[in-house]
Structure 1
Amino acid sequence: MKFGIATFITDEGIRPGPLGAALEARGFDSLFIAEHSHIPASRESPYPGGGELPRVYYRTLDPFVALSSAAAATQNLLLATGIALVPQRDVIHLANEAASLDVVSDGRAALGVGAGWNREEMRNHGTDPKTRGARMGEQLAALKEIWTKEQAEFHGAYVDFDPIFAWPKPVQSPHLPIYVGGESKAALDRLARYGDAWLPRAQTTSDQLNEVRRWLADQGRTDVPFTIFGASRDQEALDGFAEGGVQRVTFYLGTKPESETLRDLDELAALADSRR
């Protein structure tokens, strides 16, 4: 298995350039970073992890700015959103930002995507939480049109535009890979239809991984690699990921100042080395 890092990059932690350089120096292959545009002060949506919403959720840097900084400090590191909240974004801007990251990184970008959970945050962006899944499906289809056509055109219930010119195009062919996050039936349907890779969370078991792989094969998708998002250091869980045929595990890295982060990375690198 390959090993990467999943984290929140904020104004209070290590900067993305030094983080990317540190990851590459320690043999990690990838950096996946989370995003939240903001957190509404009045919120009824419960935090999926339970309890109070962690401080990092309030302070994330824009992922494409942060990943561009990491790109400038690295040569081989895969640079990915984990995840971009697609239903909250304008699809034409998203296509431009992701393709621009692929260009400035010389083809090292990946777009991790998800529907999101914070309903108040979605509403602030003009998105109806009840239709976010259908909207996201159209957005992913539109992204592929924008990235691969000289004149892109799309007409749907939520995404609608006449022919447009939109550059840059991604360096990777046919486009940068789309990693679909989530384990629900809706997320898996989205993966089978639009995804290039699956990005399940660390709670996913080897039995679930194998079940999804069989289901994907039934959908005619035998080409989908799995990347685990935000794993702990639990050896039994890592064994399960190996048994489930996972191609990459990203360890969750807490958001801390640079000196503390480097110590944590040394420990995670040693663990990764022991599993290779």
Structure 2
Amino acid sequence: MQLGLHALGIGAGARRAVIDAVAVAAESCGFATLWSGEHVVMVDRTSSRYPYSADGRIAVPAAADWLDPLIGLSFAAAATSTIRVATGVLLLPEHNPIVVAKQAASLDVLSGGRLTLGVGVGWSREEFDALGVPFARRTARTEEYVAAMRTLWRSDVASFTGDFVRFSSIRVNPKPCGATIPIIFGGNSDSALRRAATLGDGWYGFNLDGVPEVADRLDFLAAQGRDLAELRIAVALRNPAPGDVAELASLGVDELVIVDSPPDDPGSATEWVSALADRWLSA
């Protein structure tokens, strides 16, 4: 099982010097993937419930710096040569899928095929309202956008007709390094797992309570009729312990993602990453 690091894009992790230092150290220490999430908009007061905490509130302060993940990860990719980069997750229905397809392919090409595109449907109604995107039917919009982007990546001249996006005989270049870009679906709900099973190349379970919840979610995922060996499974636990690693590996998890905040001082980043590697990679 591999180890990922979800530490870039927010707060200190949004600073160029910290991104460079963390990315270089993570690659040197043997981490498999650098993850970065997204919110285009944050609000001081929200009536929307955050689905990944017990109290329904996101821990990130509304005033914190939060980079666009594709831009932030492009700097991480430029500082490294082998470690993968992944959005965890990009809120796809908030974006134009043609633009995302081009941006993602551009990052994939510039990184030498190292991008994994993690996508989610979003949870903040206030964010959708600010962007002028309907909150209703965001799941259907996400699924259609995924189909449209894959069409753009595989076809030299692409056409697509759906409820939310339509285009005819267009060229969008560059193409990804491979046949496509892996798309994994975030979310821990039954509906999110169904999307991962039916449409995804993998699943990113975020802030799960522990190994028992991972096992439960994987059982549900397998019950959807998809061979789990065909999917890349990445999980982040709320309170992980090194003893969880062997159990997660036995369940078929491909990557344990450590969620943490880097130090403000980029000079301390190497030591910080090395300490994480000593704790987790030894496990």
TM-score of the superposition, structure 1-length normalised?
0.90
1:36-72 deviations in Å (ceiling 9; x for gaps): 1121345321334234642277421111111111111
CA distance in 2, matches of 1:161, 1:274: 50
Structure 1, 191-200 or 34-43: larger mean CA deviation: 34-43
- Tell me how far 1:199 sits from its aligned partner: 0.8
- Summarize the Cα distance change of 1:81–1:101 in structure 2 as closer, same or farther, 3 Å threshold: same
Corresponding residue to 1:265 among 265, 273, 279: 273
1:27 aligns with 2:30: yes
1:47-105 deviations in Å (ceiling 9; x for gaps): 34234642277421111111111111111010110100101111011001100000000
CA distance in 2, matches of 1:206, 1:223: 18
Unaligned runs of 5+ in 1: none
Structure 1, 64-73 or 225-234: larger mean CA deviation: 225-234
SS at match of 2:46: coil
Corresponding residue to 2:216 among 208, 213, 234: 208
Match of 2:236 in 1: 229
Matches within 5 A, 1:6-45: 6-10=6-10, 12-13=12-13, 14-15=15-16, 16-45=19-48
Alignment check: 8 A CA contact 1:77 1:108 kept: yes
Alignment check: 8 A CA contact 2:46 2:126 kept: yes
Match of 2:249 in 1: 242
1:245-270 deviations in Å (ceiling 9; x for gaps): 10111101214312454343222101
Structure 1, 203-212 or 132-141: larger mean CA deviation: 203-212
- Tell me how far 1:21 sits from its aligned partner: 0.7
CA distance in 1, matches of 2:170, 2:82: 33
Corresponding residue to 2:92 among 71, 86, 90: 86
1:199 aligns with 2:200: no
Supply the AA of the counterpart residue of 1:245. Answer: G
Unaligned runs of 5+ in 2: none
- Tell me how far 1:12 sits from its aligned partner: 3.5
CA distance in 1, matches of 2:190, 2:158: 30
Matches within 5 A, 1:51-200: 51=57, 53-55=59-61, 58-172=64-178, 174-200=179-205
- Summarize the Cα distance change of 1:83–1:57 in structure 2 as closer, same or farther, 3 Å threshold: farther
SS at match of 2:230: coil
CA RMSD, Structure 1 to Structure 2 (Å)? 2.2
CA distance in 1, matches of 2:38, 2:233: 21
Alignment check: 8 A CA contact 2:21 2:269 kept: no
SS at match of 1:83: strand
CA distance in 1, matches of 2:31, 2:228: 28
TM-score of the superposition, structure 2-length normalised?
0.88
- Tell me how far 1:207 sits from its aligned partner: 2.5
Structure 1, 245-254 or 232-241: larger mean CA deviation: 232-241
